[in-house]
Amino acid sequence: KQEVTQIPAALSVPEGENLVLNCSFTDSAIYNLQWFRQDPGKGLTSLLLIQSSQREQTSGRLNASLDKSSGRSTLYIAASQPGDSATYLCAVHNAGNNRKLIWGLGTSLAVNP
Amino acid sequence: NAGVTQTPKFQVLKTGQSMTLQCAQDMNHNSMYWYRQDPGMGLRLIYYSASEGTTDKGEVPNGYNVSRLNKREFSLRLESAAPSQTSVYFCASTRDLLGGQFFGPGTRLTVL
């Protein structure tokens, strides 16, 4: 059974720091992996989607990498800003008949001015 | 282009009352989903609709029913609300079952 883990659960950093959020999954047979951002009291916003055949995706200051063989993905945020404060969630689509997303519990990020 | 919209934003019910949560998307997506989000539990799938005319159970379907009214709209009904259904409910849509998911703003439901 696929399980998705995000460590740490919470992270506090000073503004300007480069940081890495981690996502690990137990079954490497995935179709894709998606990173989301959730602001307090709001819905989820999709940040990046990486297909299983890809190694990384970039959007602005965000870079997500995928290593299927080790069951890991990282979300790199460059030059963090207070506006980056949010909860970041990752989710994987299993390959095969189960087309539903399997979710991690998220990392709550606080970027301090 | 509103994306995914949900109504209502907030609702308080008494145990045993019924209500329907509405969801609509304007992205011409085929697949739609209902999730609930609870502290420490993460997002859990209640029901999904792979395409117009089909619906399937997710992880936690008990106590809920859904209707895929047309391609745009997917509603979630609580027939007899229970305190355990106090949660934040999110609707999402995708081009297909393997596409990136787009979420609505959520409905905060409290059952007393």
Residue of B36, B101, B102, B108 for testing the chain A interface, max A β-carbons within 10 Å: B101
Segment B5-17, tens digit of pLDDT: 999 999 999 999 9
Per CB-CB distance under 8 Å, the chain A contacts of B106 are: 42-43
Mean local confidence (pLDDT), A26-30: 92
Per CB-CB distance under 8 Å, the chain B contacts of A34 are: 100-101
Average pLDDT, chain B: 94
- Residues of chain B whose C-beta is under 8 A from some C-beta in A? 4, 40, 42-43, 45, 48, 50, 58, 90, 92, 97-98, 100-106
Q: Rounded to an integer, what distance in angstroms lies between the CA atom of residue B81 and that of residue B110?
A: 10
Query: Quick one: CA dihedral B67, B69, B71, B74, positive or negative?
Result: negative
- The answer to whether residues B48 and B26 touch, using CB atoms and an 8 Å cutoff, is no
Residue A1 confidence (pLDDT): 85
| Beta strands B102-103; B74-78: pairing state | unpaired
Cβ–Cβ of A42/B106 closer than 8 Å? yes
CB pairs under 8 A between A and B: 42
The H-or-E segment that residue B20 falls in is: strand B19-25
Other C-beta atoms within 10 Å of A47: how many?
Answer: 21
Per CB-CB distance under 8 Å, the chain A contacts of B102 are: 46
Cβ–Cβ of A43/B97 closer than 8 Å? no
pLDDT band at residue A69 under the 50/70/90 scheme? very high
Residue B39 confidence (pLDDT): 87
Mean local confidence (pLDDT), B59-73: 96
**Higher pLDDT pick, B98 / A59:** A59
Cβ–Cβ of A103/B58 closer than 8 Å? no
Per CB-CB distance under 8 Å, the chain A contacts of B90 are: 43-44
CA angle A41–A43–A47, rounded 5-degree value: 125
